[in-house]
Amino acid sequence: MHELSYVVKIVDKAISAMNSVEGKVVCVHVKIGELTGALPEYLKMYYKQATLNTLLEGSSLSVEYISARAKCGSCGKEYAPNRKNDYLCPYCGSADAVFISGRELTVDKIEVEK
């Protein structure tokens, strides 16, 4: 259950972003990569608790789930890495891959009501 620590990070980022913005927060949009292992429904559940008595209280969390993609360093092909085969390249079996997406944990947009 590491969703709670992710939510704490998201809330921190959103609150510091709100230092320079006026208005009531309606919705916080985040991007979460598959490789973080976080499940959107848990993030939303913890978000409610984590935002109590903060600037974000009463706002909702919108989660965009980003699938993991890797690019093989040997054959150059892109693929969806899979833990079951140790993230190896399905085309050539190389372990020399770079993850190009899937590790995101970013606050994309904050919707405010003036």
Q: How many residues bind Zn ion (CB under 5 A)?
A: 7
If one asks whether residue 94 binds Zn ion (CB under 5 A), the answer comes out as: yes
Q: Which residues contact 79 (CB under 8 A, 6 or more apart)?
A: 69, 70, 72, 89, 90, 91
Task: Write the DSSP symbol of residue 83.
Answer: G
Interface region with Zn ion, contact rule CB under 5 A, candidates 2-10, 22-30, 54-62, 75-83: 75-83
Q: Which of 18, 32, 63, 89 binds Zn ion (CB under 5 A)?
A: 89
Binding residues vs Zn ion (CB under 5 A): 72, 74-75, 89, 91-92, 94
